[in-house]
Amino acid sequence: MMLTAGVWPWVWFNLFVLVLLALDLGVFHRKAHSVSVKEALIWSVVWISLALLFNLGLYFVSGGEIALQFLTGYLIEKSLSVDNIFIFVLLFGYFSVPPAYQHRVLFWGIIGALLMRGALIGVGSVLIEQFNWIIYIFGAFLIFTGVKMGIQKESEVHPENNPLVKFVRRFVPVTEDFEKDHFVVRRNGHKMITPLLLVLLVIETSDLLFAVDSIPAIFSVTTDPFIVYTSNVFAILGLRSLYFVFANIIHKFYYLQTGLAVILCFVGVKMLLPGLLHIHIPTYASLLFIALVLTVAIVASVIRARRLAGTEQDKTTETTQDYVEGTVPRKKVKGIENA
């Protein structure tokens, strides 16, 4: 029995997702509040556990190969979603979005992302089915994107240059400040949008750009639309909680972007090899390679962060010692009060 065949798997899966989203916003996050790291960790475990349970169901119903394809696609999408977190941090900082309102923005941002990605997956599946050679264009594009990601400097965000934001600001009045967690308010009988809606618009357009990279990457693992879609959805559903876990420490993962660049190049090469050299990389090998790259990037980043922290501590200790010995003026020593 193939779970991925027919229309009913799509119906039941999307109903399941809608129920989860309704519970999320209508019950657990009905009131706007700042999400703590503990709460975000609990939700991260919930979303990852649901994905793994779904993967287990695929294994028993459709076999090991389908389950392995889902798991590999999920890991690819989950790792590439880290770039979204970087953008979220920059955007919320740029617009000075209060922590209590960030979850609401991300919730509706993910709703939009699910709709956009569903449409892109549908288009991609049709294109690959009708024009099989387009898979090689996807592969070349991913290699180009991976190389570009590997050599570019730190990400920058300029929301004021976003065409959609410019268009909205030109034709729709925008309030000066946030109006609690509202996107639209009424002032003197006229409707106005708030800066919170501008943040949402930038997040949606940014995710559209990320989807252009990540969706072709999953097609390197499988062309089954259901597997591509479900692995994408589960990765996106857990993105909000992942943001609140890593928002304050994401900058410490120095080598993570390099690791993501390597993964993109790898999946691009994986797409090209069958047509160019008649070499097929098994799904399990792809899964192991991607997991290894992520592990190396994370461990290397942690080692670097600890080394830098140790260096700073040594400098502080040395300067303090010099101060005690009277060789450094008091005003030049940070962290020591002036007499």
159-165: average pLDDT: 71
Distance CA 130, CA 236 (A): 28
Locus of tokens 């708030």: 194
74-85: average pLDDT: 84
pLDDT of residue 292: 94
Residue 100 domain flag: yes
Q: Flag whether pLDDT at 51 surpasses 80.
A: yes
Containing structural domain, residue 78:
33-150+213-325
pLDDT of residue 339: 40
SS3 (DSSP) at 186: strand
DSSP 8-state class, residue 174:
B
pLDDT of residue 82: 78
Share above pLDDT 70 across residues of the chain, in percent, rounded to a whole number: 85
Q: Where are the beta strands (DSSP E) in the chain?
A: 184-187, 190-193
Q: Flag whether pLDDT at 335 surpasses 60.
A: no
pLDDT digits (tens, 9 = 90+) for 7-28: 888 888 989 888 888 887 666 6
Residue 313 domain flag: yes
Residue 13 domain flag: no
pLDDT of residue 189: 78
Residue 311 domain flag: yes
Residue 330 domain flag: no
- What sign results for the dihedral spanned by CA atoms 266, 271, 276, 279? positive
Short-list 125, 145, 151, 176, CA closest to 258 = 151
Distance CA 190, CA 174 (A): 11
Q: What is the mean pLDDT of the chain?
A: 81
Q: Flag whether pLDDT at 251 surpasses 70.
A: yes
Residue 160 domain flag: no
Q: Which residue has the higher pLDDT, 5 or 135?
A: 135
pLDDT of residue 160: 66
Residue 336 domain flag: no
Distance CA 240, CA 252 (A): 19
Residue 64 domain flag: yes
pLDDT of residue 66: 92
Total structural domains within the chain: 1
SS3 (DSSP) at 47: helix
Q: Is the Cβ–Cβ distance between 287 and 314 less than 8 Å? A: no
